[in-house]
Structure 1
Amino acid sequence: MRVELLSDCKKRNNREIVRAKMERTFALRRQEVISDVPMTSDVQERWPALFDVMEVNAEFKRITTMPLQSRFLSQLDLHSASLLRVFSKQSGQQGKKLKDMAAMMTEDIDAGRECLIKGLCIYLNEDPEDLVKEYMDMTEANTLREVEGTTVGIYVARETPSNDYSDVGVILEGVVVLHDLESVALAAAMLFGLMYALNMNYPLKLRYTLEVLQKVIMELDASDLSRKAQNLKRKMHE
Structure 2
Amino acid sequence: MSGKQLKLTRAQKHNILETMASVMHTFKAYPSDRDVCLAAKALVTTHPCLNEPGSYGWKTSLKFKMGNYRTKLARAGCAEVSVNAGRRSINNPEGEYPHSNIKRARKAEVNYLPNFPRGEDKASLEELRVQIKNEVEKTEPNKVMIEKLMQTTFALHRHEIVQENPMVKDFLEKWPALRFHSQVCAEFHRVTNINLQKQFYAELDRHTPRLMALYRQKATCTGKISEALRNILNHYDHQEAPDVDVKRTAVLRALPVYLREEDPEFFKTCDAGTLDETNLTDTPVALLTVVADGSAETSPVHFSPSSMAVVVEGDLVIRDIARFADAYAILFGLIYALHLDYPRKLVHTFTFVQKVFMGLDDGKPLKPSLHALRNDLLQSE
Verify same fold: TM over 0.5.
yes
How big is each residue's C-alpha offset from its partner over 1:92-149, in whole Å with a ceiling of 9 and x where there is no partner? 2222322332333342222221111111010111126343211122133xx22xx121
Query: Aligned to 1:138, what secondary structure does the other structure show?
Result: helix
Q: Which residue of 1 aligns with 2:160?
A: 32
Amino acid across the alignment from 1:76: L
Q: Which residue of 2 aligns with 1:9?
A: 136
Query: Which whole-Å CA distance do the structure 1 matches of 2:134 and 2:255 have between them?
Result: 41
Query: Aligned to 2:321, what secondary structure does the other structure show?
Result: coil
Q: Are 2:243 and 1:108 aligned?
A: yes
Q: Are 2:290 and 1:157 aligned?
A: yes
Query: Which whole-Å CA distance do the structure 1 matches of 2:199 and 2:234 have between them?
Result: 26
Amino acid across the alignment from 1:228: S
Shift of 1:33: 0.9
Q: Which residue of 2 aligns with 1:52?
A: 180
Amino acid across the alignment from 1:148: T
Shift of 1:237: 2.3
* Matching of residues 1-238 of structure 1 within 5 Å: 1-11=128-138, 12-90=140-218, 91-93=221-223, 94-105=225-236, 106=239, 107-127=242-262, 129-136=264-271, 137-140=274-277, 143-144=278-279, 147-158=280-291, 159-161=293-295, 164-221=304-361, 223-224=363-364, 225-238=366-379
Q: Tell me: CA distance 1:130–1:81, structure 2 relative to 1, closer, same or farther (3 Å).
A: farther
Query: Which whole-Å CA distance do the structure 2 matches of 1:114 and 1:165 have between them?
Result: 11
Query: Which whole-Å CA distance do the structure 1 matches of 2:146 and 2:360 have between them?
Result: 28
How big is each residue's C-alpha offset from its partner over 1:42-67, in whole Å with a ceiling of 9 and x where there is no partner? 11111001111000010000111100
Query: Which whole-Å CA distance do the structure 1 matches of 2:282 and 2:245 have between them?
Result: 27
Gaps of 5+ in 2: 1-127
Query: Which whole-Å CA distance do the structure 2 matches of 1:13 and 1:46 have between them?
Result: 16
Query: Which whole-Å CA distance do the structure 1 matches of 2:362 and 2:211 have between them?
Result: 17
| Percent pairwise identity | 32
The ranges of structure 1 where at least 4 consecutive aligned residues each deviate by more than 4 angstroms after the TM superposition are: none
Query: Which whole-Å CA distance do the structure 2 matches of 1:222 and 1:3 have between them?
Result: 35
Amino acid across the alignment from 1:220: L
* Contact kept? 2:308, 2:324, Cα under 8 Å: yes
Query: Which whole-Å CA distance do the structure 1 matches of 2:131 and 2:142 have between them?
Result: 12
Two-structure CA RMSD over aligned residues (Å): 1.7
Query: Which whole-Å CA distance do the structure 2 matches of 1:49 and 1:13 have between them?
Result: 10
How big is each residue's C-alpha offset from its partner over 1:180-221, in whole Å with a ceiling of 9 and x where there is no partner? 001111000000000000111112111111111111121211
User: Which of these two proteins has the greater Rg computed from alpha carbons?
Assistant: 2
Corresponding residue pairs, total: 234
Shift of 1:222: 5.8
Q: TM-score, normalised by structure 1?
A: 0.92
Q: Tell me: CA distance 1:13–1:29, structure 2 relative to 1, closer, same or farther (3 Å).
A: closer
**If each structure's helix is expressed as a fraction of its own residues, which one has the higher value?**
1
* Contact kept? 2:135, 2:141, Cα under 8 Å: no
Query: Aligned to 1:119, what secondary structure does the other structure show?
Result: helix
Worse-superposed segment, 188-197 or 97-106: 97-106
Query: Which whole-Å CA distance do the structure 2 matches of 1:128 and 1:187 have between them?
Result: 17
Query: Aligned to 2:376, what secondary structure does the other structure show?
Result: helix
* Contact kept? 1:89, 1:95, Cα under 8 Å: no
Query: Which whole-Å CA distance do the structure 2 matches of 1:160 and 1:123 have between them?
Result: 29
Query: Which whole-Å CA distance do the structure 2 matches of 1:27 and 1:153 have between them?
Result: 28
Amino acid across the alignment from 1:166: S
Worse-superposed segment, 131-140 or 112-121: 131-140
